[in-house]
Amino acid sequence: MPSEGRSNAENLLPNQLPVIHDRLFSLAQPYLQQPHQVSSFRFFEPSLLRVNSGQLTLSQEHDAPVKLGNTPHLMVISQHTQAHVSKTVSAESGIFSSLFLGFSPALIAGFYRDNAPLLSPLTPLNGFQIVPLDDELQETLDYCLHGLKNPASTAVQQNRLTGVLIALAERGILFMPRAGELLGTRLTTLLASAPEFAWTAASASQQLAMSEATLRRRLVEEQISFRTLLQDIRMHHAMTLLQTTRWSLSQIADACGYRASSRFSLRFRERFGCSPADIR
C-alpha cells in the first residue's frame, strides 16, 4: 500500500520541518503569510500546538474563544475535537508559524493502559486548553522533537512521546483513549496513513481484515460515511500541505488522491469555504 512519507526538503518553506505521518505521531509546522480562518476543523488525533509567530484562536459554539500567541504556552486538544480555527500573522514578522504534534490513538491507549493507576485521579481533557510551557515541559518537548525529527527507532520515539504525555499528566492534562477501539478510529488511522491512495470500501476492508459487507454494516452502526470520512481526511491533509510546503496545486492534489486539480479545488472550497490559493 502506498505511503506518503516525508516531504522533500527542497519543497519546504523557510525553517520548516517536513510533514511527518507515523504510526505513533504526526508532526508539522504550519507557515502562513496572511490571516486565515476555517470552520469546523477536526483534530483527528490528540494534539498539542505551540505558536512561534502570530496568534492562533480556537472557538466552539456557545463558548468563549481561546487564544494562543507567541508566549511560553501550549494548546492541548482532545481527539476528534471540532473547532473554528483562526490564524493571525504577527505584526512584526508578517507571518504565522506554529508547531503541531499529534499523538496516535494507539500510543494514547498504550500509555493509559501502562499508567492507569497513576492517571485515574485525572479528568480526561474534553475540547482544548492552554497549558503553561515551563522550563521542564519545554525541555521534555524539545528532547522529544529532536528524536522525532532525526532518524530514531520506534522504541526511542515511543519513549520520548511518552515523556511528553507524562509531563502533561503531571500538569493535569490527560488524553483519554476511547472505550474500546471503534471501527471509525481504525479506519481513520488507515486512511490517514496514505491519503493519496485510491481507497475504496473494498480495499479498506481488506486492510482491516474483514469483509466489505461487515465494514459497511459497522460503519452504519457508528453513523459514519466512508466517502465523507475519506474526503475529510484528504481535505485536512491538503490544508496541512498548503501551510507547510511549496508544492504546486497539482502536487498537493495528487498527494491527496485527486488526479484533477479542478476537482480537488472544488472539494476544498466545499469543505473550507475558500480556494486552496487563498491559504497562501
- With bands split at pLDDT 50, 70 and 90, how would you rate the model's confidence at 181? low
Q: How much is the average pLDDT of 65-90? A: 95
Q: How much is the average pLDDT of 266-272? A: 94
Q: How much is the average pLDDT of 9-14? A: 51
Q: Is the Cβ–Cβ distance between 24 and 32 less than 8 Å?
A: no
The C-alpha cell at 184 is 471509525
The C-alpha cell at 8 is 522533500
Q: How much is the average pLDDT of 168-176? A: 94
The C-alpha cell at 91 is 505584526
The C-alpha cell at 92 is 512584526
Lowest model confidence (mean pLDDT) among 14-23, 181-190, 205-214? 14-23
- With bands split at pLDDT 50, 70 and 90, how would you rate the model's confidence at 125? very high
Beta bridge partners of 20: 27
Candidates 138, 196, 129; CA nearest to 167 is 138
Residue 162: CB partners within 8 Å, gap ≥ 6?
107, 111
Taking the C-alpha atoms of residue 12 and residue 117, their distance in angstroms, rounded to an integer, is 43
Lowest model confidence (mean pLDDT) among 52-56, 120-124, 200-204? 120-124
Which residue type occupies 211? Answer: S
Is pLDDT larger for residue 1 or for residue 109?
Answer: 109
- With bands split at pLDDT 50, 70 and 90, how would you rate the model's confidence at 126? very high
Biggest distance spanned by C-alpha atoms of the chain: 56
Q: Is the pLDDT of residue 51 over 60?
A: yes
Name residue, grid cell 476528534: 80
Name residue, grid cell 459497511: 216
Task: State whether the Cα torsion 56-100-81-278 is positive or negative.
Answer: positive
The C-alpha cell at 40 is 469546523
What's the pTM value of the predicted model, to 2 decimals? 0.85
CATH class for the region spanning 181-280: mainly alpha
Name residue, grid cell 507567541: 70
Domain 33-180, what fold? Jelly Rolls (2.60.120)
Q: Is the Cβ–Cβ distance between 105 and 178 less than 8 Å?
A: yes
Q: Is the pLDDT of residue 274 over 70?
A: yes
- Main-chain phi, psi angles of 202, to 5 degrees: -65, -45
pLDDT at position 253, please?
A: 97
Q: Is the pLDDT of residue 7 over 50?
A: no
Helix 183-193, helix 212-221: angle, nearest 10: 120
Share of the chain above pLDDT 90, in %: 72
Burial grade of 191 (CB within 10 A; 0-12, 13-18, 19 or more): buried
Q: Is the pLDDT of residue 159 over 90?
A: yes
Residue 132: CB partners within 8 Å, gap ≥ 6?
72, 73, 171
pLDDT at position 30, please?
A: 92
Q: Is the pLDDT of residue 14 over 60?
A: no
Q: Is the pLDDT of residue 99 over 90?
A: yes
pLDDT at position 19, please?
A: 77
CA distances from 88 to 91, 94, 98, 257, 274 (A): 9, 9, 11, 30, 16
Lowest model confidence (mean pLDDT) among 32-36, 44-48, 53-57, 146-150? 146-150
Which residues belong to CATH 2.60.120.810 in the chain? 33-180
Ramachandran quadrant class, 257 (left: phi over 0; alpha: psi -120 to 50; beta: rest): left
Residues 227-249 have pLDDT tens digits of: 999 999 999 999 999 999 989 99
